[in-house]
A and B are shown apart, each in its own frame.
Chain A
Amino acid sequence: ETGVTQSPTHLIKTRGQQVTLRCSSQSGHNTVSWYQQALGQGPQFIFQYYREEENGRGNFPPRFSGLQFPNYSSELNVNALELDDSALYLCASSLSGRGTNYGYTFGSGTRLTVV
Chain B
Amino acid sequence: QQQVKQSPQSLIVQKGGISIINCAYENTAFDYFPWYQQFPGKGPALLIAIRPDVSEKKEGRFTISFNKSAKQFSLHIMDSQPGDSATYFCAAATSWGKLQFGAGTQVVVTP
A109 in contact with B98 (CB, 8 Å): no
A104 in contact with B99 (CB, 8 Å): yes
Known: A41-B103, A42-B104, A101-B32. A33 touches B44 (CB 8 A): no
Stretch at the interface among B52-60, B64-72, B88-96: B88-96
Q: Distance in Å from the Cβ of A114 to the closest Cβ of chain B?
A: 19
Query: Which residues from A are CB-within-8-Å of B83?
Result: none
Which of A42, A45, A105 gathers the greatest number of chain B CB atoms within 10 Å? A42
Q: Is B46's beta carbon under 8 Å from chain A? A: yes
Query: Which residues from B are CB-within-8-Å of A56?
Result: 96-98
Contact residue among A50, A100, A108 (Cβ-Cβ distance under 8 Å from B42): A108
Query: Which residues from A are CB-within-8-Å of B104?
Result: 40-42
A48 to B100, CA, bound (A): 13
A40 to B38, CA, bound (A): 11
Q: Distance in Å from the Cβ of A108 to the closest Cβ of chain B?
A: 5
B101 in contact with A42 (CB, 8 Å): yes
Q: Is A55's beta carbon under 8 Å from chain B? A: yes
Nearest B residue (CB) for A109: B43
Chain B residue total in the interface (Cβ 8 A) = 24
Known: A106-B45, A109-B43. A43 touches B101 (CB 8 A): yes
A104 to B43, CA, bound (A): 12
Which residues of B in the span 1-59 have a Cβ within 8 Å of any Cβ on A? 6, 32, 34, 36, 41-46, 49
Known: A42-B104, A103-B49, A107-B43. A55 touches B96 (CB 8 A): yes
Nearest A residue (CB) for B103: A42
Query: Which residues from A are CB-within-8-Å of B36?
Result: 106
B41 in contact with A108 (CB, 8 Å): yes
Chain A to chain B contacts (Cβ below 8 Å), 30 pairs: A4-B43, A40-B104, A42-B6, A42-B103, A42-B104, A43-B44, A43-B89, A44-B101, A45-B99, A45-B100, A55-B96, A56-B98, A58-B98, A90-B43, A90-B44, A92-B99, A99-B95, A99-B96, A100-B95, A101-B32, A103-B32, A103-B34, A103-B46, A104-B34, A104-B46, A104-B99, A106-B44, A106-B46, A109-B42, A111-B41
